[in-house]
Amino acid sequence: MELESRTVGLRPLGHLLQAVLENRSQANSVFDILAVLQSEDQEEIQEAVRTCSRLFGALLERGELFVGQLPSEDTVLAGPQGATHKYKVWMRHRYHSCCNRLGELLAHPSFQVKELALKTLMKFVQLEGAQPLEKPQWEGQYLFPRMLFRAVVRGLLSPEDDCSLLLSQFCEYLEYDDIRYHTMQVAMGIMARVISQQAEVSTTFWNNSFFLLSAMSLPHQECDLTNFYVKHTQPSDKWKVVHLKEHRKAFQEMWLSFLKHKLPLSLYKKVLVAMHDSILPHLAQPTLMIDFLTSACNMGGAISLLALNGLFILIHKHNLEYPDFYKKLYGLLNPSIFHVKYRARFFHLADLFLSSSHLPAYLVAAFAKRLARLALTAPPEALLMVLPFICNLLRRHPACHLLVHRPQGPELDADPYDPMEEDPARSRALESCLWELQTLQQHYHPEVSKAATVINQVLTVPEVSIAPLLELTAYEIFERDLKKKEPKSVPLEFIPARGLLGQHDDLCAQLFTLT
């Protein structure tokens, strides 16, 4: 075998290809070509893949492959059929082995080889789809090379390697409606099989699957899906693949089957991030996501925050009745809220949730008080956002003005607000005042201090839009401070420096030494 491939390597593959295509008697040269596919050398493999692509591409176009249920090779060769029949069956078997090998090559360490194999396989899919290798059972039946395509997708969803690069190549094909449809179906099947086969599924597999799934995007409008990869001579209305409804069904089943399994935590976050704008709108029945989202919301931490967005869409558009929603939201407010990555998203949603003017005053007061309490631990960029947020709450609900203006209130020796209470109704926030904002007037950053002094005056009616403040980062604040032009000359310290730690009543000098 080794020797053979070596000798074949000497003979150019092009000659072999020509010989096979010109003369059926030279058909045995196919073995030589297939042998090179097994080679170790990257260059040789690429050459062989290209040759195979041309060879079988030509054969598929000519129709020189057997069509229909493929009989086993030995029976046919021994059988009484004509030479042409035998040749076709034999060649079809070679085609199969070639495809198998190409499927294996999708896991090749070299990316070039992988890419080339993928392209070749997709070319075969196209050609085979145009000239199906199976007989239609009735007139106008929709035929798609499912077996071949399954092999391709299986190669992509590898449990071992991270295929993100290859998948991003594959995403080009997902623009075609038929490819997308079949990918959804096939991927679902593959995931089901992987789960049933392996007890412990690797995270790589899930990552690959998620990559593929998230790349899928259905058209928003109802329209005819005619952008097909496989060109059909007579497209028909009766085919499932033409209807968006069917696509949606497939999409929904795919996601449900994906989410059914126990996923790694990071993947849940990714799914939830994408949920509101790329998953929920495309589902046939979005309400099926209720269970998933509520359980995610109950998990606590960042996942709960992220689940809010999907939940909101369900409540808002799909009439979901969610008991104790505000209580849960209230429970989500903890000190880390100002430090997590999804701060902007959360506050955007919180603003939406609390924008209703029909909320009870105690609830709004509890939220305001809780946020103010949390603001005592927040960095300046979060404070610049949350202070206007609280003021907006107060503006919307005049009943809550008591929090900042209690003319005949008794002097208290303890804050009546109970921070440990989980139910906003029993937190006694309305009896309290926002002393936290008064504290924050002493904040070291001038803008925060200014934002907090707003409560000293009667709040003006128009609300302050917090949208531009949501994405504020400390770096932006820093840059803004740097760019701010000082009106006069720079004030200077008048106590002369005596050294690094030599200053009078220097705290650093008390606690640190230079040596």
Partner 1 sequence: MGKSKPSRVRRQAPRAPAGPRGGPAKANPNPFEVKVNRQKFQILGRKTRHDVGLPGVSRARAIRKRTQTLLKEYKERNKSNVFTDKRFGEYNSNISPEEKMMKRFALEQQRHHEKKNIYNLNEDEELTHYGQSLADIEKHNDIVDSDSDTEERGILSAELTAAHFGGGDGLLHKTSQLEGEDRDRPKSRKELIEELIAKSKQEKRERQAQREDALELTEKLDQDWKEIQTLLSRKTPKSENREKKEKPKPDAYDMMVRELGFEMKAQPSNRMKTEEELAKEEQERLRKLEAERLRRMLGNDEDENKKKPKHMSADDLNDGFILDKDDRRLLSYKDGKMNIEEDTQEEQSKEPDSQENDQEDGEKGENESESREDPEESGSTDSHSDLESNVESEEENEKPNKEQRYTPGKKMLSNDEKIGKAARTELPYTFAAPESYKELRSLLLGRSVEEQLLVVERIQKCNHPSLAVGNKAKLEKLFGFLLEYVGDLATNDPPDLKTIDKLVVQLYNLCQLFPESASDSIRFVLRDAMHEMEEMIETKGRAVFPGLDVLIFLKIAGLLFPTSDFWHPVVTPALVCMSQLLTKCRVLSLQDVVKGLFVSCLFLEYVSLSRRFIPELINFLLGILYIATPNKQSQGSALVHPFRALGKNSELLLVSNKADVSTWQKGSLSLQWASKQSAPTAAEANHARLSCLAVCLALAKRCVFMYGTLPSFHAIIRPLQALLTEHLADCSHPPELQELCQSILSEMESQKPLFQPLICEKSKPVPLKLFTPQLVKVLEFGRKQGSSKEEQERKRLIHKHRREFKGAVREIRKDNQFLARMQLSEIIERDAERKRKVKQLFNSLATQEGEWKALRRKKFKK
Smallest gap from Cβ 504 to partner 1, in A, equals 10
Smallest gap from Cβ 482 to partner 1, in A, equals 5
Q: Does 300 bind partner 1 (CB under 8 A)?
A: no
Of the residues 271, 297, 404, 429, which one makes contact with partner 1 according to CB under 8 A? 404
Closest listed residue to residue 147, CA positions, set 190, 195, 110, 91 = 190
Closest listed residue to residue 423, CA positions, set 323, 301, 331 = 331
Q: Does 414 bind partner 1 (CB under 8 A)?
A: yes
Task: List C-alpha distances in Å: 113 to 37, 110, 163.
Answer: 11, 6, 13
Reduced 3-state DSSP string for 352-385: HHCCCCCCCHHHHHHHHHHHHHHHCCCCHHHHHH
Q: Does 443 bind partner 1 (CB under 8 A)?
A: yes
Q: Does 199 bind partner 1 (CB under 8 A)?
A: no
C-alpha 127/C-alpha 104 separation (Å) is 20
Of the residues 69, 109, 411, 462, which one makes contact with partner 1 according to CB under 8 A? 411
Binding string, residues 57-96; x marks residues near partner 1 by CB under 8 A = ----------------------------------------
- The amino acid present at 84, given as its one-letter code, is T
Residue 190 CB: number of other CB atoms within 10 A? 18
Q: Does 494 bind partner 1 (CB under 8 A)?
A: yes
Nearer Cβ to partner 1 (257/503): 503
Smallest gap from Cβ 403 to partner 1, in A, equals 7
Smallest gap from Cβ 311 to partner 1, in A, equals 24
Of the residues 334, 355, 356, 465, which one makes contact with partner 1 according to CB under 8 A? 334
Question: 3-class SS at 174?
Answer: helix
Q: Does 40 bind partner 1 (CB under 8 A)?
A: no
Contact criterion met (CB below 8 Å) for 194 and 204: no
Q: Does 415 bind partner 1 (CB under 8 A)?
A: yes
Smallest gap from Cβ 301 to partner 1, in A, equals 12
Nearer Cβ to partner 1 (138/475): 475
Segment (H or E) for 342: none
C-alpha 283/C-alpha 276 separation (Å) is 11
Q: Does 514 bind partner 1 (CB under 8 A)?
A: yes
Closest listed residue to residue 396, CA positions, set 441, 350, 428 = 350
Q: Does 261 bind partner 1 (CB under 8 A)?
A: no
Q: Residues in contact with partner 1, total (CB under 8 A)? A: 76
Nearer Cβ to partner 1 (200/411): 411
Q: Which of residues 449-488 bind partner 1 (CB under 8 A)?
A: 449, 455-458, 474-475, 477-479, 481-482, 484, 486
Which of these ranges, 4-12, 235-243, 322-330, 442-450, lies near partner 1 under the rule CB under 8 A?
Answer: 442-450
Q: Does 515 bind partner 1 (CB under 8 A)?
A: yes
Residues contacting residue 97 through CB under 8 Å, at least 6 positions apart: 34
Smallest gap from Cβ 379 to partner 1, in A, equals 5
Of the residues 410, 461, 462, 468, which one makes contact with partner 1 according to CB under 8 A? 410
Nearer Cβ to partner 1 (3/461): 461
Smallest gap from Cβ 363 to partner 1, in A, equals 20
Nearer Cβ to partner 1 (93/401): 401
Q: Does 112 bind partner 1 (CB under 8 A)?
A: no
Nearer Cβ to partner 1 (52/433): 433
Smallest gap from Cβ 448 to partner 1, in A, equals 9
Q: Give the DSSP per-residue string, 94-107.
A: HHHHHHHHHHHHTT
C-alpha 504/C-alpha 401 separation (Å) is 46
C-alpha 387/C-alpha 452 separation (Å) is 6
- Which ranges of 131-281 does DSSP label H, i.e. alpha helix? 146-156, 164-170, 177-197, 203-215, 244-259, 265-274
- Which ranges of 460-506 does DSSP label H, i.e. alpha helix? 467-470, 474-483
Smallest gap from Cβ 470 to partner 1, in A, equals 18
Of the residues 336, 355, 356, 465, which one makes contact with partner 1 according to CB under 8 A? 336
Say how far residue 149 (Cα) sits from the centre of its chain.
23
The pair of three-digit structure tokens given for residue 140, joined into one six-digit string: 């106008």
Nearer Cβ to partner 1 (278/453): 453
Smallest gap from Cβ 413 to partner 1, in A, equals 6
Nearer Cβ to partner 1 (109/410): 410
Q: Which of residues 343-382 bind partner 1 (CB under 8 A)?
A: 373, 375-380
Residues contacting residue 280 through CB under 8 Å, at least 6 positions apart: 286, 289, 310, 313, 314
C-alpha 191/C-alpha 189 separation (Å) is 5
Of the residues 165, 265, 467, 500, which one makes contact with partner 1 according to CB under 8 A? 500
Smallest gap from Cβ 300 to partner 1, in A, equals 12
Contact criterion met (CB below 8 Å) for 276 and 346: no
The pair of three-digit structure tokens given for residue 296, joined into one six-digit string: 């995610």
Question: 3-class SS at 118?
Answer: helix
Smallest gap from Cβ 496 to partner 1, in A, equals 6
